[in-house]
Amino acid sequence: MNFSKMHGLGNDFMVIESITQDFVISSLKIKELSNRNTGIGFDQLLLIEKSYSSKFDFHYRIFNSNGNEVEQCGNGARCVGLFLILKGLTTKKRINLSTNQKNIIINFISKDIIEVNMNEPIFKLHSIINSEKLKNYNFSVKIINNNLLCSLVSIGNPHCVIQVESIKYAPVQTISKIIKEKSIFPKGINIGFMQILKKNHIKLRVYERNEGETQACGSGACAAVAVGIVKNLLSNNVKVELLGGTLFIKWKGFNNPLYMIGPAKYIYEGYIYI
């Protein structure tokens, strides 16, 4: 099986296409391959398949390092776009991908700077939180002894955004582990810690479900900016500093798609016997 190793701001991936090669792999094997000591090592495995509809160019699937399939990965989408170009699978500069949740449109701004249409953020909470007490318009909940305000949004996958004074001193691991154990999130939750520097500039750390803290989370950056805009804390164009680098997020508000702009990097390619 041929594969490529890629990353978006340090969020690293094993990328495989099942268009020119047969590919069947188990969750257990994905978990083995993701091990950084005995395998290839990655945050997510990205699988590119033939499109199931003439409306799309390709189908895109995401698996976390524990083998579980998930709905969305913004950094991964940029890497998939670059992979398709580098491997000669398309010559398009605008690529329409279907996923298990929704379609994603990729546009190349330059050779390795890519804009992704992440669609409109979803603030209806029925798919994120397990509670009949919340109304659809109420997207913030208090957790951890009712002292911590957590704003919820879906970018195709569920996110909890917490505003902090400083990401450097925020107890990311402690708070994330407590939230992770809460039964109110039936599908788990990605947790973002947002420090607002200016209306157009934030810093962000993200603790991803099943992964722990990562160098960068594209959908997490989208989630944080969307929450900030809805709360009138941020402007419509925001620079997001993550541990691994910088993304730019653009959103005009409700009834409009949200755009993420950032790099994708190719590391190496190889093959492995499964």
Catalytic residue flag (residue 150): no
Set 73, 79, 150, 160: catalytic member: 73
Q: What are phi and psi of 77, to 5 degrees?
A: -60, -40
Task: Give phi and psi for 162, each to the nearest 5.
Answer: -120, 125
Half-sphere exposure of 271 (CA within 13 A, CB side): 5
Active-site hit among 79, 150, 160, 217:
217
Most distant CA atoms of the chain, gap in Å: 54
Active-site residue flag, 222? no
Output phi, psi for 86, to 5 deg.
-65, -35
Identify the residue whose tokens are 């499109």: 51
Structure tokens at 266: 């190719």
User: Look-up: residue for tokens 């699988």?
Assistant: 47
φ, ψ at 6 (rounded to 5°): -140, 165
Residues serving a catalytic function are: 73, 217
